[in-house]
Amino acid sequence: MDLAAREREIQQVGFSIIEEIFTNQEIEAILAAINKTDSTKETFRKSEDLFAIRQFLKEIPDTIDLIFNDKLKKIIRKVFGKDYFLVKSIYFDKPETSNWFVSYHQDLTISVNQKAEIPGFGPYTNKHNQFAVQPPLDILENNFTIRIHLDETNEQNGALKVISNSHCKGIYRPENIDWNIEKELSCNVARGSVMIMKPLLLHSSGRTTNNQKRRVIHLEFSNQILPKELQWAEYLDLDS
């Protein structure tokens, strides 16, 4: 695993796919922990097209040691550094017959504990008693996301489509995409593999057409200290 090459790819292209980070046994153990959880809580979202668990690692702490195995911790430390910590976790289960899709967007918000009037932070949203805010651009530029794929994912069951290098263009509104210049890539990811991406990378996800599940654990990381009036809604020190 050439992690130096992965680091360059993430910085230049905006994402990288690294295979075989989790064994089938590890994936099954994670799924078993999820399946035995009470799914009636407020942080759980259920519909015909999507099942999601917000603050996933808080809700199912039994998965923490399973997720942060030696391979994943090595990637985080070698590619990004030892000062990064987890600030958001979500579990997405896109069922076999899902018509749910997401159009092109950047991940422009972070999850915080409250609303506070601070220059450079805003606007705020509050959904299901969770606050999100758009922070200054430098915070988003330093953050990164790891998507752990619990199923084989391709164009037929909602693999992410991305626009290469779009993370280097600041706030890039989808309506301004110049398709004469930009190139769309499908990020097919095998079961047990991970996709690492920058939040500012333009990405979308299509409907499911092959009757195959797409279950993903979405983890966001930062090394940024927020103003004293705010705290990250989630925080996990990887060395604790």
Q: Are 194 and 149 in contact (CB under 8 A)?
A: yes
DSSP letters for 129-151: TEEEE---HHHHHH-EEEEEESS
Rounded percentage of the chain residues whose pLDDT exceeds 90? 78
pLDDT at 149: 98
Q: Which domains does the chain have, with CATH numbers?
A: 3-222 (2.60.120.620)
Indicate the pTM of the whole model: 0.94
Worst-scoring range by mean pLDDT, 52-56, 76-80, 87-91, 159-163? 52-56
Q: Token pair of 16, please? A: 């990288």
With 60 as the cut, is the pLDDT of residue 49 above it?
no
Compute the CA torsion angle 174, 44, 140, 181 (nearest 10 deg): -20
pLDDT, tens only, 171-211: 999 999 999 999 899 999 999 999 999 999 999 998 888 88
Tell me, what DSSP letter sits at residue 229? T
